[in-house]
Amino acid sequence: MHVLVSVASRHGATAEIGEVLALELARAGHFVDVVPPDDVESVSDFDAVILGSAVYVGRLAVALRALVQRESGQLRKKPVWLFWSGPVGDPPMPVTAPDDVASIARSVEARGERCFVGRLDRGGLNLSERALVALTQAQTGDFRDFDDVRAWAATIAAELAA
C-alpha cells in the first residue's frame, strides 16, 4: 500500500517519531512518503494516512489542523491514524489530551489515536517558548519511547494487511 506520514513538528522530536513509523511500515512492505502537512497538496493518491503533531499550549499544530480541514473529505474515505506528542517528564505531564484531538479524529474518522511522550530541550527553544516553559513545571529531557512507537506501527501494519 502507498502510505502517507504527515507530521507537524517545531523542534524535530515529533518528526523523528514520524520517521520511525515510516521506517517500520516500509519494513512491513509498504511504500511510504513522509511529507510535512504544509507540503501535502492532496491525499487522494494514498491508500492510508498517518497524521501527527507536536502539542503546543494545549493544541495540535496549525499546519496539521489546516491539512485536515483541506482534505477531510478525502481523508474520511481512507484508513487514517492520528498521533500527538507533547507530554514530557516522568511521569509524563500533562495527562489530558489536547482539546482539538477529539474533533480532528472525528472529522477524519480516525481508526486509531495515540499519544507519545515527547522531548523538551530548553537549549533549542526561542525566547518566548523558554518564557512559557519557565511558567510550567515541565521537566526537560528526551522521554520518547521508540519501542512504543514501533509497536504502534506494527499494529497499523497488521490492520493494513488484514
Ligand X SMILES: Cc1cc2nc3c(=O)[nH]c(=O)nc-3n(C[C@H](O)[C@H](O)[C@H](O)COP(=O)(O)O)c2cc1C
Q: Which residues bind ligand X (CB under 6 A)?
A: 9-15, 54-58, 85-88, 94, 118-120, 125, 129, 132-133
C-alpha cell of residue 63: 499546519
- Residue 58 CB, shortest distance to ligand X, in Å, is 4
Residue number of the CB atom closest to ligand X: 118
CB of 47 to ligand X, least distance (A): 26
Place of cell 489530551: 97
Q: Are 153 and 21 in contact (CB under 8 A)?
A: yes
Is the CB of 77 or the CB of 130 nearer to ligand X? Answer: 130
Of the candidates 62, 64, 58, 159, the residue with the CA atom closest to the CA atom of residue 112: 159
Please give the helix or strand (H or E) that residue 129 lies within, else none. Answer: helix 127-134
The residue (of 8 and 110) whose beta carbon lies closer to ligand X is 8
Minimum CB distance to ligand X smaller for 1 or for 66: 66
Question: Least Å distance between CB 72 and ligand X?
Answer: 23
In the complex with ligand X, the residue whose CB is nearer, 16 or 47, is 16
Residue closer to ligand X by CB (options 92, 112) is 92
Radius of gyration from C-alpha coordinates of the chain: 15
Rounded Cα gap, residues 159 and 162, in angstroms? 5
How many residues are given for the chain?
162
Minimum distance of ligand X from residue 1's CB (angstroms): 26
Return all residues near 29 (Cβ < 8 A) that are at least 6 apart.
none
Q: Which amino acid is at 29?
A: G
CB of residue 8 to ligand X, shortest distance in Å = 8
